[in-house]
Chain A
Amino acid sequence: MVTMAYFIFIRIKQAYRLLQETGWAILLVLVVVTAALWVPALDKLSQATPSQALFLSLIIGLALQLSRKDRTFLQQLALPAPLVCLADLCLLLGMPAAFLLATGNYLAALAMAGGLGAALLPPGLAAGIRTGRANLSLAVIPLFLFELRATGRQQAGGWLLTALLQAGIWLHIGFFLGTLLLGLVLLSSSFEYLEPKELLPVHHRELIRKWRRTAAIFHLFFSPAYLQVLIWQPGYFWLLVYAIAALETQLALVFFYKYALWQPGVQRLSATLYTAIGLILILLPGGILIAVPLAAWTTRRGLKRIKQWWSRS
């Protein structure tokens, strides 16, 4: 009979192997380098009220359950799937809860532990209608620690950068804004390669899904900032709304620009000038009022172009 203790033991072993593969020296450097960022973050966590802790644990629980890729395996396990999910949540939330207990914030720790039960969902609830596997390539630590195959695997630089950015976000919203700006500048280079016709989305709805999947990765990456603002820095709420609008606008511009100009045989397209115009508009006061219609027009052009190409063939 497989016991729950064996499952938890396996999970701890997995985490150990993951850390070992990343390299202890890198992790040590990472901990020391980022101490200035994560110490205040933990300190802030210790000041959380029970309702904030409950909210946070609910978010973590939901994020974990909605991203599960192991539905098939859960069904085949000898253990009941809900217990397995609960064990995963306990392991992920156990550390912050233990920290809160240790620092004397018992009510918040209790709320966090309560969130474990409340956040428990049937495995793969949201993934029930998915036909493919969830595919998130960005490392979001530690929410998807166990499930993301790519996390940390020979990507020490990625770990370091992600940890720095994520930890910095907990320190101040300025980190988020800086990262966002950097992301927006680099965005155009990520979309300059055109796919051949065989790899084009076969329907405009698929193109829209592809666009939203890309946007979801960004939002997931910045989700700590959203939480930070919503819980601890509500004064920046409208700044956050503007930042999200800017991200969506620029992404739509860059994403659909290449499809608007797509032609067979063209492999690369420089969108630097076009996206630079979008970026300047976004940064100028009131400029977003021009950038949004421009993005909408580009989106329409991109969708129309794809429809045309498929109707011709």
Chain B
Amino acid sequence: MVEQILNTTARGLILILYFWAMLTLEGLQFAYGNQPVLRHLDLQVPDGEIHGILGANGAGKTTLFRLLAGWLAPDAGDIRWNGQPLTKRQIAFLETDPYFYPYLKGVEYLRLIRDDQMAIEQWNQLFGLPLHHLVDEYSTGMQKKLAFIGTLLQQRPVLILDEPFNGVDLAGNEMMMAVLRRQEIRSGAMVIASHILSTLTQTCQRISILSGGQIRQTFTREAFDDLEKQVQADASNQLDHILSTWK
């Protein structure tokens, strides 16, 4: 009897969690031709959480993000937000190399995303970009900061950031991370990929390892030290192995 009640409660909780504001990836599969990239990938990111994705080059991070953004269709599996299929209008995606129209000023770029001069100026106080200059004249880091502001201005429930800190200076990086950590000024569930582990450990609540097309392991904040040790040990072992083959 007690077992039955516990089972029913557990199922109810799972159901509540399922419809709770949450990004759910279930049994996601994708292949480029005969080359499988994602194999039955499962991931849950609740609203408000920043979830880091860590993986080697070619592990499938960008493919995963393209699937989330709706540019690619999964071969199998579901991507849901609050239990409903995720739509393109629910996603803000900051690419590794964001696209900018030529001959466009920073302020014009942001106004096309959201015509709210006050919000644009407020966000730019954080980064101090020359918004009345052409974006073509910006450095890589400045372009990244502009696209970052654009991503936040969209106020969409799911944010995907692919290598957001690449090319950005130290102060800019710190500011971006500070913004991400402050839930009151940004909204939604967030998935970030980065090759720099420290940027993930400083911003994310959880970090997942993507390997062989699957989420191999997920670390909570308490276990980030273990993750860092594991990454360092893996690199060290690999180096030892290679050095042992040298004459």
Tell me if B93 counts as interface (CB < 8 A to partner A).
Answer: yes
Does the CB pair A70–B101 fall under 8 Å?
Answer: yes
* A17 touching B134, Cβ below 8 Å: yes
Interchain CB contact (< 8 A) of B114 among A10, A15, A72, A78: A78
Task: Please give the distance in Å from B161's CB to the nearest CB on chain A.
Answer: 13
Asked whether A69 is an interface residue with its Cβ less than 8 Å from the other chain, the reply is: yes
A6 at the interface (CB under 8 A from B): yes
Q: List chain A residues, Cβ under 8 A from B95.
A: 72
Decide if A78 touches B115 in the complex (CB within 8 Å): yes
Task: Check if B99 sits within 8 Å of A72, measured CB to CB.
Answer: yes
How many of A's residues come within 8 Å of B, CB to CB?
Answer: 29
Distance from A131 Cβ to chain B, minimum over Cβ atoms (Å): 8
Number of A-B contacts (CB under 8 A): 69
User: Bound complex: CA of A76 vs CA of B110, how far in Å?
Assistant: 10
A84 to chain B, nearest CB (A): 9
Type the 1/0 row for B124-157, where 1 means its CB is closer than 8 Å to any CB of A.
Answer: 0000000000101000000000000011001000
Would you call A73 an interface residue if the criterion is a C-beta within 8 Å of the partner chain's C-beta atoms?
yes
Chain A residue nearest in CB terms to B88: A75
- Could you tell me the distance in whole angstroms from the C-beta of A43 to the nearest C-beta in chain B? 32
Within 8 A of A (CB), among B88-104: 88, 91-93, 95, 97-104
* Residue A199, interface by CB 8 Å: no
B115 A72 Cβ-Cβ under 8 A: no
Give the residues in chain A near B113, CB-CB below 8 Å: 2, 76-78
Interfacial chain A residues near B102, Cβ < 8 Å: 14, 18, 146-149
Q: A14 contacts B115, CB within 8 Å?
A: no
B42 in the interface, Cβ–Cβ < 8 Å?
Answer: no
Are B112 and A77 touching (Cβ within 8 A)?
Answer: yes
Determine if A237 is an interface residue (Cβ-Cβ < 8 Å).
no
Residues of A within 8 A of B136 (CB): 149
* Number of chain B interface residues as a range: 20 to 34
A13 within 8 A of B: yes
A79 to B113 CA separation, bound complex (whole angstroms) = 8
A157 on the interface (CB 8 Å rule)? no
Which one of A6, A70, A75, A79 contacts B69 once the chains associate, using CB atoms below 8 Å? A75
Q: Which A residues lie within 8 Å of B114 (CB)?
A: 2, 78
Is B76 in contact with chain A by the CB < 8 A criterion?
no
B111 lies within 8 A of A73 (CB): no
Whether A78 contacts B103 by the Cβ 8 Å rule is: no
B51 to chain A, nearest CB (A): 21
Contact status A73-B101, CB under 8 Å: yes
Which listed residue, B71, B88, B91, B112, touches A79 by the CB 8 Å rule? B112
Residues of B within 8 A of A286 (CB): none
| B72 adjacent to chain A (CB < 8 Å) | yes
Residue of B nearest to A11 (CB): B101
Tell whether A1 is near chain B: CB-to-CB under 8 Å.
Answer: yes
Judged by a CB distance under 8 angstroms, whether A268 is at the interface is no
The interface of chain B, by Cβ under 8 A from chain A, is 69-72, 88, 91-93, 95, 97-104, 108, 111-115, 134, 136, 150-151, 154
8 additional A-B residue pairs with CB within 8 Å, beyond A70-B101, A78-B115, A133-B99: A2-B111, A2-B115, A10-B104, A10-B108, A13-B103, A73-B101, A129-B72, A147-B102
9 closest pairs, A vs B, by CB?
A17-B103, A14-B103, A2-B115, A149-B102, A73-B99, A72-B99, A18-B103, A70-B99, A75-B88
